[in-house]
Structure 1
């Protein structure tokens, strides 16, 4: 049984766009956490039957989100017979969250051409500007993690941090501390990067996903078509400012 411990602070974070039109949901202003023992349909949604298009070479499938041993959620990439050659897994909250501390305990997928992520997102499909804060692991090198954010659709704030360990081999805790005047990212409770420039302000959904890329080999490396490819999530937590 894994020991699940939360590094309490105050923040928010992560990325990605949906092609679904979704209703506006409540903004959560209290502690929110999940140990991923089962699918809690009152709090979460499994993306299913659609694609982000662009660099996402997959269709989201609900069956790619699974729960194991009453303590782990797995998001997986499989081959698919739909409009895309592969399927990916995505898990998202029904409600939205604002400034605060966002934490996740996870192991990303290790394979060239794939991304494992934890992020917050809101955008035109939610009736808001595109704001997003990301923690992303590129499967070509899981000894590093990439941080990024978008404010009203403006991104290009990537920062790559050298972890000093292979994140795919064991669970570690990654966090986004989102305040009105800055975003800070943490690894195992230690702040490793902070930015003050053009900070997002709109509450967003908490999202977790794994997906294969296409036509972005210079960024992700070329996906070799290997399946299944899986990222594992042990727990997440949010604490408001």
Structure 2
């Protein structure tokens, strides 16, 4: 999904430049990008609105819950009724699908019982493809926790729960997806290294979302509407194709301690 050579990305402060250059020996267009969220480009992003993912979701996706302010994407969950739900929430997804490479975002994550804030990739039944997914999911059934996970058509029970804390700070969350390996990082520090086995192998869409439940209690707890509003804040998001190294200043691939020989 990433094929580029000699590509340069500027830091957010210097504005982001998305260069489309073919990888050596390939005629395919490079799909790497850096998204500073100065605007929400309709050519890249689609806003989920007017539906939910199922009865387990106690809020309705709605475009009113998606905003850009001062270069920050704001995804909110509020006690504003929409259609048949008393709560409304936010999700954006890429229009394109992306494959092997490095996915990362700098985010300030809210935690509340019964709520899931997340960065993930997904393809599946809605696109008439086998289920493939890679996750960062932030939940708080009893206390703040990060769950990393991946799904394939063969297996969906690959989660690991990581200790975390709610300190109201921005963190950079990254995962590097290779054919035989997935690595998850926080602020450049490795938190999980999954090698071998049956791993996702389908190009996927990228999602950022915030949603609630009053039924998935064993996993997430029950959301209390009185804890709304909640907001997931995203400073930037980037994707770097497999085969490319350090592409923008904030990337995990710029960390000399991270093997960037992808």
Alignment TM class, shorter chain as reference: 0.7 to 0.9
CA distance in 2, matches of 1:178, 1:140: 28
What is the DSSP-based 3-state SS (H/G/I as helix, E as strand, rest coil) of the residue aligned with 1:203? coil
Does the C-alpha gap of structure 1 residues 236 and 36 become closer, same or farther in structure 2, counting only changes over 3 Å? Answer: same
Equivalences, count: 215
Q: What does the per-residue CA deviation read over 1:133-156, in whole Å, with 9 as the maximum and x for residues that have no partner?
A: 000101456753110111016311
CA distance in 1, matches of 2:61, 2:209: 9
Match of 1:152 in 2: 153
Out of 141-150 and 196-205, give the one that drifted further. 141-150
Match of 1:48 in 2: 49
How far the C-alpha of 1:87 sits from its partner, in A, is 1.2
5+ residue gaps, structure 1, are 6-26
Match of 2:183 in 1: 184
CA distance in 1, matches of 2:194, 2:142: 24
Q: What does the per-residue CA deviation read over 1:148-167, in whole Å, with 9 as the maximum and x for residues that have no partner?
A: 1110163111101123x42x
Any residues of structure 2 matched to 1:1-241 within 5 Å, and which?
A: 29-69=30-70, 71-79=71-79, 80-140=81-141, 143-152=144-153, 154-163=155-164, 165-166=165-166, 169-196=168-195, 197-226=197-226, 227-241=228-242
Superposed CA RMSD in Å reads 1.9
How far the C-alpha of 1:36 sits from its partner, in A, is 1.1
Q: TM-score, with normalisation over the residues of structure 1?
A: 0.83
Q: Give the conservation status (yes or no) of the 8 Å contact 1:92–1:208.
A: yes
CA distance in 2, matches of 1:28, 1:195: 29
5+ residue gaps, structure 2, are 1-10, 14-27, 243-262
Q: Give the conservation status (yes or no) of the 8 Å contact 1:151–1:198.
A: yes
Q: Higher RCO, 1 or 2 (CA under 8 Å, sep at least 6)?
A: 1
CA distance in 2, matches of 1:106, 1:141: 22
CA distance in 1, matches of 2:219, 2:29: 34
CA distance in 2, matches of 1:235, 1:141: 29
Q: TM-score, with normalisation over the residues of structure 2?
A: 0.77
CA distance in 2, matches of 1:187, 1:142: 19
Out of 91-100 and 168-177, give the one that drifted further. 168-177
CA distance in 2, matches of 1:209, 1:217: 19
How far the C-alpha of 1:117 sits from its partner, in A, is 0.2
CA distance in 1, matches of 2:115, 2:29: 31
Q: Give the conservation status (yes or no) of the 8 Å contact 2:46–2:92.
A: yes
What is the DSSP-based 3-state SS (H/G/I as helix, E as strand, rest coil) of the residue aligned with 2:84? coil
Q: What does the per-residue CA deviation read over 1:167-212, in whole Å, with 9 as the maximum and x for residues that have no partner?
A: x511000111100001110110111101123100000111000000
Select the structure that is richer in strand: 1
